[in-house]
Every structure is written in structure tokens, then in C-alpha cells.
Structure 1
Amino acid sequence: MNLALFTNTYAPFIGGVARSVQTLENECRTRGHEVAVVAPEFDGAAPAGHVLRVPAIQDFNGSGFCVRIPLPNLVRDFIDDFCPDLIHSHHPFLLGDAALREAWKMRVPLVFTHHTLYEQYTHYLPLDSPALRRAAIQLDTEYCNLCDRIIAPSGSVRELLVSRGVETPVEVIPTGICLDDFASGDRARGREKHGIPADAKVVGHVGRLANEKNLPFLAEAVIDALRQRDDAVFLLVGDGDAREAVETTLRDALGERVFVVGGQSGQDLFDAYAAMDLFAFSSQSETQGMVLAEAMAAGLPVVALDGPGVRDIVVDGKNGRLLDAAAGSSELALAVTDFLDDPGLPTAWREAALARAEDFGTEACVEEMLACYGRAIADYEHRRSEDLGVFQRLLDGAEAEWDLMSAKLAAAAAAAVSPLVPET
């Protein structure tokens, strides 16, 4: 198959969606498929013949994300030359719009992976408000209904989408991870690199350090827990706009018992996971929570708040603790100290964590995705002919633009009324 992936985040940007796209791309290519990627320009990006970099505004509003500058003919020519059998969109806006246009014009199916709960990210936009969050939900829902297949990374996200009015078939396919990589971490090497005592109890967290990740809550819980255990430290891996604030809070309370090491990748990341004894997580803006699967592949139990994606991985009392979404930071702190105080829990929960991680292996997840692609192509009613003709292309383009405009009008209308669809 010829597969075209459209994404607003892509390497060398570090983030869950970027990693997901690159993993999918590499695995599909390994299996003999041709893959092209359309992504924004990004500082430090190496040129690649199969990747179209479109001009973009870098680090929009401090978010770390890039906002494309529309140049439709650039994308049009690239896709014409590649001649895809299927287009896979990874966002419902910006390059997601372009993916929809090209799928209509080329008469190929459009698959969309719902990586993100976009209403949790409206604080990056001017005039953030409940109305803007309602608009984000409605725009997302309308976009889903313009696609041929939706991929939900977890069952809880599928349920949420259906409850919001998504009528397009939704398939649950997690983003896969390489289990061997995360099992290869070296505990001693990870601790030595960051100056962590060999005999310390290490509570850890990995992720993008951004406002939507509920980091003040996590910091408060960690501070409370570590004040009760002199032998415990906190290892924070990641970077982002909230790093300075959360690091200051932690260091003011815990001093040298806090290790903030920035973003890590490759073996350094695997070793950082291996250096930990327990993974702490409080975000409720996830669709899968890839770091939770990574932590479990490294043999780490997880203490987390309930939320979409999280409840699909953490089984309370088996591979960690899953607290109520409304739990306070003191309850999360108590779950951490209970784990550290009970010598029997680490071994039992570690084994269960490793077993749960098996469900997220790259090979199985990519095979499921390729099977989904095959079904989407087989079910597609308007097959591409050898020569669509100029007039038919104009009609298809007009239809795509009308659908996009209708979706945005529906989102604007949703912003003006009380919520009619479930929020997270």
C-alpha cells in the first residue's frame, strides 16, 4: 500500500503523537509499504525525500507546537506524485484539513487517529473559555464524521467519541511500543548518570511538562509522600512550558531529593525508567497515556488518577493503584507511601505490569492498523479511477471545502449554547 500520513507534530519534536507517527511509519515501511509524511517545518529537522515539510509558525504561543502556513498547491503536488491508496490524519485541524481535502480529491479513504482530547488544550489559544472548549469538542466530532474510519487509542476514548455523536466506525488500536527497548534499561547506570543514590526509593514521572498535565497536583502529592520517607527521591523526566514552575515547587520543598533531568530519548530514556521503583501520574487529558505502557514495559507499577486512557492500562490493586478522578493529592501521596512501605507489593505489581505491557507491543498494534487500512480501502465506495478529470476534481474540492466549512459552523454554534455533548 501507498500510505500518506498527515501530522501537526513530527520528529525531531518530542511528544506522544510524534513518536506514534514515526513508529507507525517505520513499521509500515519495514513490512514493505510505501509511506509519505506531510508535517510542519521544525527546527533541526533533517531533510528526507519521503517527508514534505510545509512552512509553519514555530512554538505557537509557547505550546511547542507548529502552526502550518497554508500553501495548498505544495501539498497537492506532493500527494499527486505519491498517489496514495489511503490517507491517515493525526489531527482534526491544520494539516487535518489538508488531509481531508486530499482524500476527497484523490478519492481514497481517510483514517483519523484520535490522539488528543483537544478541549484540554484550549488554554494555548486566546480567549480560552467554556465556549471555546465546547467548540473544540464539536469541531472534533464533526471532523470524525467526515472520515471513513476512526482509530481510538483506548476503549474509554471510543466510548467518549460515540457518546458525543461520532457515527463513523471507531476501532480501538493502541499506539504500540517496543517492549524490548523498555525492558533493556539499566537501573544502576540510570541512577549513576543522574547522581541518584543506589539504595534510594525512586518515585518517577516521564512526560511533557505542560499545563494540561495536572503537574501542580502531582508535585503536591510527591512532596507530601516524600516528607514521610527520608530514603525516597523523585525523578522527573521531560521538558515543556511548565518545567520551571514545577521544578521550583519541588526543589523549594524537597531540595536535593529532586532530580529534574529534562527530555530523554533512546537508551537514556530506557535507563531513566529502570532507575525508578514506582511511576506517579495525575494527568486526565490522555487518550492512551503512552508513558504508562512504557513504564509497565520497564516493570514499573503505576499510581494514577482515573481518566480516559489511564483506566485502560492501570488495574487497581493489580499493577498499581487507580484512584478516583476526584481524589485529593493527599490520597495520591498515601498510595505512594503505602507502596513504599509494603515490601510485598513491588514484586507482585511488577509482574502484573510486565504482563499488561504485552498488550501494547508494536508488532501486534501495527498489524491491527494495517488490517484496519485494508478494511477501509475495501469498504470505500468511490474508488479512484485512472483519470478523474479536471471537472470532477473541482467538484470534489468544492465538496470537501463545503464539509469543512459546515464543521466549523457547527463548532461555532456549539460555542454559543450550553453543552450538548459529554466533556471529559
Structure 2
Amino acid sequence: MNIVMFTNTFRPHISGVANSVAWQADGLREIGHRVLVVAPEFPGVTSDEPDVVRIPAVQNFRGSDFSVPIPLTRPLSDTLAGFAPDIVHSHHPFLLGDTALRVSASFDLPIVYTHHTRYELCSYHIARDSPVLQRLVLGIALGYSDLCDAVIAPSRSMADFLIDRGVKAPVNTIPTGIEIDGFAGRDGNEVRRNLGIPADAFVVGHVGRLAPEKNLDYLADAIGRFLAAERRAHFLVVGDGPMKEPISRFFEEHDLAERIHMPGACEGERLASMYAAIDAFAFSSRSETQGLVLAEAMAASVPVVALDAFGVREMVRDRFNGRLLPADVPSHSFAEAVQWIGELDDRKRRAVGKAAGRTARLFTRERATGSMLELYRSLAWARRRVKTPKDGSWQTAMRRIEQEWKILSNVAHAVGDALVAESVPAPMKAARQSHRGRP
């Protein structure tokens, strides 16, 4: 099959979504399918990327580490005509996500959308602490789902969230797969030596984009409490982002700077070695849809301490492969859960680590790629069955106009719902939700 993917974030940017798109594309290519990725320009992009089309973008939008692409479709026409896609896969409901809808209409192709992100929890890039904005971005994302032929949720809890909020399009649970063997059996001793971490230290680790929505103030406080109580413990934070300096400053202010290590973002073998240097993985985000770093840590046989949230509860079993804590637990209880792992004897800690490794096997790239391909094929087959044999310029133009109207109508419905949500009675809210998506 020929698959065209549209994403607002991609390599060399490092994030869960960027990695997910890259891994999905790589997995499909490895078994003989063609994937064309349409993504924004980023600093450091090379000019010889195979099967990647870069779109001009505004860099570092509102002080974030994101690029905002300028969603132009005309320059893509010749490339897409030559590529001859069988299906369109959108990874965002905004910007290039709208371009994906237009392309699906122009070429009369089925479109799949993966709901990677809790957008209502990440609206700080546009306006901080705005309930109206949170409702708006969520409303657009939910409505966008119903403009697509199928929706992919990376976890069962995310799928339930979408269905409970009125999404009518078929929702399929397909977690992003990882290359399990790339994280297993590594040696973390060199990482410890290079960072000045004693060989016998207990190392708590965290990997991810260091952004406000990841609940990192809470995590810093919890791990700070743990380090203060456990003098031989160190904290290894792998990643980059706007929260890097505040985290570093917090540990300096609490006289713990010598026991926190922040080597920046890592990939490939270096990242795998970072996981191998960790004794317990700490994860406090409540804004995930899956949490790929949990699978990576578990693939390295590292127990996880995490808060109960979307994607997390499908992976972490309390006292089996780590600790799963209530989402509202105070930070000192999180520190105590880390301490629980630290106090396990060698035999029990190895057992928990092995359980984590077995859990990771449920999230292999091969398994995810097979499920994705099965969905693609079913949608492409269904579309071929109903396609008319002749498709002239008039039919193409009508599809484009209809799609543009749907895009505008979705935004209008989302704006209206966001503005009146506080004053509209619950039955009327439900009625409005039932009209979301396709007009």
C-alpha cells in the first residue's frame, strides 16, 4: 500500500508523537509498503530525506519547542499524484490535519486520524488556564474525529474517552509499538561513570519532553523528598524543554544539585543505555494518551512508578511491574512508592523488573504495524467498492467544497459549544454534541 501521513511534528524534533509517526512509518516500510510523510520544516532538517515532504513553518511558536506549519496544499499536488496514495493518515486535528482532510477529498481516499494528544490539557501554548480554550480545542478535536473514516486511540482508556464524548466514527485501539529488543539487555554502567553516578547508587529516572503539561513540578517535589530521605539515591532526567531550567533550579534550591543529572534529549543506543542505568522509572504525567516511555522503560526491565491516567493504567499493575498510584495522591506518597521499590531485596526487584519486561512485549512494533495495516486495508477495500468508475473535475471540485464546509462547520460548532457550555443545561449540551462532526 501507499500511505501518506500528515503530522505537525516529526524528526528531528523529539517527542512522543514525532517518535510515534516515525516508528509507524519505519514499521510499514520494513514490510514493503511505501509511506510519504508530510511534516513541517524544523531546524537541522537535512535536504536528502527520502519520502518526506517538508512544509514551511513558524518556528518556536509562542516560546514553545513546536513548529506551526503553514498548511498549503497546492505544492503537494504533483508529489501526491506521483505517489498515488491508497489512504491518508492524519496525526493532528489542526493545521496539517486540515490539509489531510482536503487531500482525502481531492483524491477520494479514506482518511484515518490518530488522537495522540490530550489537547485540552496542552492549551497553555495559546492561552494559559483558559477553560473556554480547553473546551474549544477539545471540541475541534472531537469534531475532527467524525470527519474521518476511522479514529485510532493509542489506549483503551483514550478510546473510551472519545466514545463517551460523542465521537461517532469507528474508534480502534492501536497502541504505538516500539522496538523492544533495542532496549533490553543493555549495560548502564558507562552512563553512570560518565555522569558521575556511583555504581551502587539507587537511580530514579525520567525520560520525556520537559513541558508544563507533564506535571513535572509535582515530580520534582516527589523525587526531591525521596532524595532527601535516601542519601545514596540519584535522579537522572533525560529530555529537554521549557521545564528543564525550573527543575534544575528546584534541586539547587534544595541542596540536591549534585544528585540530579540532566544530559538532555537522547535517541537510539544512547537512550537505551540511559534506561539501563535506571533502577526505577518515575512518571507523573496525567496528560498522556499512551506514554511510550513507559513501554521503553519496561522493555529495559525497569519498574515504573506512575499516576493512574490514560494509557498508564493499561501498562502498570500495582506491585506487579511497578507502582500505580491514584491520580490525586500527594507527592510524599509518590516518594514512598519509589522508596518501596528501593527497599525490595534483589530477588523481588528482579521479579518486578522481569514482569515489566513481559508487559513491554505487548507493545511491539510488529504487533502495532499489523493492526494498523489491517485497518488501512479494510478502509481502502470499502472505499474501492463504492467508488464511481469515472471521476471528473466537477466531482473533485464538489468533494473539495463539501470538505471545506465540514471543516469550517466543525470549528463553528466547537466555538459555539465552548462559549455557551457554562450556561447551557446538560440535556441541551448532549443534543449539541450529537451534531458534532459531519454537518
If the TM-score is normalised by the length of the shorter chain, which range does it land in?
over 0.9
- Give the aligned partner of residue 318 of structure 2: 316
Structure 2 distance, partners of 1:384, 1:8, is 30
- Give the aligned partner of residue 66 of structure 1: 67
Which residues of structure 2 form unaligned runs of 5+? Answer: 423-428, 434-439
Normalising by structure 1, we get a TM-score of 0.96
Deviation, 1:56, is 0.5
1:58-93 CA-to-partner distances (Å, cap 9, x unmatched) read: 111122111112322112332222221000000011
Say whether the 8 Å CA contact 2:37–2:52 is kept in structure 1: yes
Structure 2 distance, partners of 1:45, 1:201, is 38
Structure 1 distance, partners of 2:129, 2:280, is 35
- Give the aligned partner of residue 303 of structure 2: 301
Amino acid across the alignment from 2:284:
S
Amino acid across the alignment from 2:304:
V
- Give the aligned partner of residue 397 of structure 1: 400
Structure 2 distance, partners of 1:155, 1:49, is 34
Change (3 A) 1:127 1:17: closer
1:318-348 CA-to-partner distances (Å, cap 9, x unmatched) read: 1111110111101101111122122154122
Deviation, 1:384, is 5.0
Secondary structure of the residue aligned to 2:113 is: strand
Residue 8 of structure 2 is aligned to residue 8 of structure 1: yes
Q: Which of 355, 359, 362 is the aligned partner of 1:359? A: 362
Secondary structure of the residue aligned to 2:229 is: coil
Residue 215 of structure 2 is aligned to residue 214 of structure 1: yes
1:11-50 equivalences under 5 Å are 11-47=11-47, 48-50=49-51
| Structure 1 stretch displaced more, 413-422 or 102-111 | 413-422
Deviation, 1:222, is 0.2
| Structure 1 stretch displaced more, 17-26 or 93-102 | 17-26
Amino acid across the alignment from 1:21:
V
Which residues of structure 1 form unaligned runs of 5+? Answer: none
| Structure 1 stretch displaced more, 73-82 or 294-303 | 73-82
Structure 1 distance, partners of 2:18, 2:101, is 20
Amino acid across the alignment from 2:368:
C
- Give the aligned partner of residue 89 of structure 2: 88
Deviation, 1:389, is 1.4
Structure 2 distance, partners of 1:37, 1:222, is 39
CA RMSD, Structure 1 to Structure 2 (Å): 1.6
Secondary structure of the residue aligned to 1:400 is: helix
Deviation, 1:387, is 5.0
1:158-182 CA-to-partner distances (Å, cap 9, x unmatched) read: 0000001111111111101001111
Amino acid across the alignment from 2:17:
V
**Identical residues among aligned pairs (%):** 45
Structure 2 distance, partners of 1:142, 1:239, is 32
1:95-244 equivalences under 5 Å are 95-126=96-127, 128-244=129-245
Secondary structure of the residue aligned to 1:74 is: helix
| Structure 1 stretch displaced more, 309-318 or 342-351 | 342-351
Say whether the 8 Å CA contact 1:143–1:407 is kept in structure 2: yes
Q: Which of 407, 415, 418 is the aligned partner of 1:415? A: 418
1:379-399 CA-to-partner distances (Å, cap 9, x unmatched) read: 337755665211111101101
Secondary structure of the residue aligned to 1:227 is: helix
Say whether the 8 Å CA contact 2:72–2:99 is kept in structure 1: no
Change (3 A) 1:204 1:49: closer
Deviation, 1:49, is 4.2
Q: Which of 375, 379, 399 is the aligned partner of 1:376? A: 379
- Give the aligned partner of residue 257 of structure 2: 255
Structure 1 distance, partners of 2:137, 2:344, is 44
Structure 2 distance, partners of 1:223, 1:156, is 31
Say whether the 8 Å CA contact 2:248–2:257 is kept in structure 1: no
Secondary structure of the residue aligned to 2:122 is: helix
Say whether the 8 Å CA contact 2:192–2:198 is kept in structure 1: yes
Deviation, 1:184, is 4.1
Say whether the 8 Å CA contact 2:202–2:232 is kept in structure 1: yes
Structure 1 distance, partners of 2:216, 2:184, is 27
Say whether the 8 Å CA contact 1:339–1:345 is kept in structure 2: no
Structure 2 distance, partners of 1:291, 1:251, is 26
1:8-31 CA-to-partner distances (Å, cap 9, x unmatched) read: 011111111111111111111111
Structure 2 distance, partners of 1:393, 1:382, is 18
Say whether the 8 Å CA contact 1:108–1:384 is kept in structure 2: no
| Structure 1 stretch displaced more, 115-124 or 43-52 | 43-52
Secondary structure of the residue aligned to 1:174 is: coil
Change (3 A) 1:168 1:401: same
For these two proteins, the number of residue pairs brought into alignment is: 422
1:258-303 CA-to-partner distances (Å, cap 9, x unmatched) read: 1111101111100000000000110000000000000000001111
